[in-house]
Structures are given as structure tokens and as C-alpha cells.
Amino acid sequence: MIDPENMRELPDDFDIAPVRLTIDLQALADNWRDMAQRSGQARTAAVVKADAYGLGIEDCGTALYEAGARDFFVAVAQEGVTLRAYAPSARIFVLSGIWPGQERLFFENDLVPVLASEEQLAFWMSVVAEYGDYPCALQVDTGFNRLGLRLEDALALAGDVSRPASFSPVLVLSHLHSGDSPEAASNRTQLEAFRQVSAAFEGIDASLSASAGIFLGDDYHFDLTRPGIALYGGEAVDGSKPLRPVATAEARILQIREGREGETVSYGGTHRLLRPSRLAVASVGYADGYLRSLSGSGIPLRQQIASGAHGFVAGNRVPVVGRVTMDLTIFDVTDLPEGAVRVGDYVELFGSNVALDEIARAAGTIGYEMLTSLGLRYERRYLYAD
């Protein structure tokens, strides 16, 4: 029988994790301050939906609150309930609004529903008629054709003198559909439409811009901005330089194997070695959000995008070869000096050396999806703000 007391001390879980994720909360806080400065006279909220874009609403919410954020946006009520413990005096807006039966949840956790349809508006009117005045926000569609009242219906509501006095929105908001493309004419069209809304609801705060809209300038800032992806180190505007990277994902190398010229690599044999090669097999795959479309070959996307992703190890970029599988990905480390990479080393998947949006483009997607697709197997380490 093995005596546990005679066993050597176990290493830290992070140091031996198959996949691990470092979240720099100082960088997150600095990015929020940067966006607040860019927002000029407008207050700056923080969007922490989808578990703070996959990085952890508890720790990220705390860091943003301590940095000074006092307005937060979540997608669903349960996210707001979780956040409330970490942002005790913040206003927390729930973008999906409220459903019948959720009244107590909203009241007890001081959540602000964002009303986004005629049905939600009618239900909310009945709620405030029964319970009295309670804050809400009103979303108006200015051209997205997603959530929100139509412009004409919102303007009619603003001018309706018969609406209950207990209906008292604290915010009107809309969303740009092409804010990440500064040259898009639709940005100005939506801005002009939203100016009508803001004027109609005079005295009520207005919010149009998420991360991308903030970069469009003062005209788009109104009273409150809502940065999201920019806080987490992703590109807010197509092709722009992002703010500080926040997340670093790494995978442990399980094996380094020698491949002969002419042999194939991974499922389907879609990558054929053109030279004797050294291959590093890393413990990450699409179950970890390292998408199959990042494969070096063997998927339809490669007909449009010539090559797959790169990792970073021992000071060098190394390409993915063959198909990404559920739990494993293979990197070609042939060009690195002999002995530069060893079993147990970690290859950076994205972070300060491989930009989040670079790897997203290699996958045919965006940084948002890369972050929010992170799987459950990552051992996480948070670097706390000073």
C-alpha cells in the first residue's frame, strides 16, 4: 500500500495543467480606464455578459468595479444575480429584459430590465401599475433589426401623455450594427435616428456606443458608453490595434515525436510532411474552444484561408499541422533548435505573442467567439490589480 505521507509534495495545479488560462485583471482595469478616457464626458459602463466574455464574471466584475465602473450590462438575469455580490452599489442592466415570474428576482437583486419589445413593455406597465415606480431601460432599434422597439413606436411612446407615471425609464439605448467599420454610412444613419430618440426622451440618459462606437468619436458617446470586447483585449474596430491583452491561453506539450518525410499527420491524413519533422503534440482541442477550423488542413475553410493557426513556444511561432482534434493539437517545431522545446513545456495559444484576433481570423471567426468558447478544462490563474 502507498503511504501518502511519504510521497513528495504535489506541484501547483496550474503548473501541470493540461490547458491553462491566465487572466490579467490589471490589464482589464487599465483597458476600462482607457475606454473611460476615450468616452470623454460620458460615463463608462462595463459589459460582463457571457461570464465576462468567458473570463469569469466574479473576478472580472470585481476588478472593473474597483477600477470605478458603476454601470454594468449582463445578458440574462442570473448573470446579474451573480454580479450583484461583487458590485454592491452598481446599476446592473439586463439586456434580455424581464419575463413574467421574474419580478421578485429583479427587485431583490436590484436589477434594471432593458425592455426590448412591445410584449415586454406591456408586461412592465402591468408590473409598475401593481408595485409602483421601479427603474427600467428602453431599447430602441435604429436599424439593427434585432432587439428593440421600432423607432416610430418609441417616439410615439415618448409623446404618449397617457402612459403611467410609474413608467420611468432611466436609460434609452440602441446598438450600432457596423460600428466596427468606421466608413460604414449606416453608422451616421443610426446616429441620426438615435438623436431623435434621445431628444424625445429628454432628461433621460442615452447610450448608443459599445466598444466600436466609442472609437467613432464624441458624437456617438451620449451619456453612457458600453465597452465590452475592448476591455478583454479584443479588436473593437476591424484591423485596429487592440488594448492590452488580458487572457493568455496555453497548452502543455505531451509528446515530441519525429515524423518522416512523406508521412501524414492527424485525422484524414490531410497534412503530408515534406521533410523530416519534429512534432509537438499539445493537450488542447476543440473541446477546449480551440476550434477545429484552426486546423492546418482538411477543412473547407482552408479553401479560403490558406493556413491555420500558430502557437508560440521557446520564443518562436510554430504552425498547427493537420486537423485539430477533440483533445489534441499538433504543432510543427522542426525549425526550433534541438532541445529548445521539451515535453511538459507550454505552447501559447493566444496572448501577448499570438494576438486573440489573429487566431480568431485563422479560425474564420472573431475574438468574441474565441473567448466565449473556452472550455471547462482550463486551470485558471488571476493576476490581481495593484
Q: Indicate which residues carry an active-site annotation.
A: 49, 267
Torsion-angle region of 384 (φ positive above 0: left; ψ -120 to 50: alpha; else: beta): beta
Which residues, at least 6 apart from 77, have a Cβ–Cβ distance to it below 8 Å? 94, 96, 98, 102, 105, 106, 109, 111
Nearest to 170 by CA among 223, 121, 118: 223
Q: Per-residue DSSP letters for 23-78? A: EEHHHHHHHHHHHHHHTTTSEE-EE-HHHHHTT-HHHHHHHHHHHT--EEEESSHH
The long-range contacts involving 163-169, CB below 8 angstroms and separated by at least 24 positions, are 163/125, 164/125, 164/128, 164/129, 165/133, 166/128, 166/129, 166/132, 166/133, 166/134, 167/124, 167/125, 167/128, 167/136, 168/133, 168/135, 168/136, 169/115, 169/135, 169/136, 169/137, 169/138, 169/201, 169/204
Report residue 134 as a C-alpha cell: 421601479
Contacts (Cβ under 8 Å, ≥6 apart) of 16: 252
Q: Which three cell numbers stand for residue 233?
A: 483585449
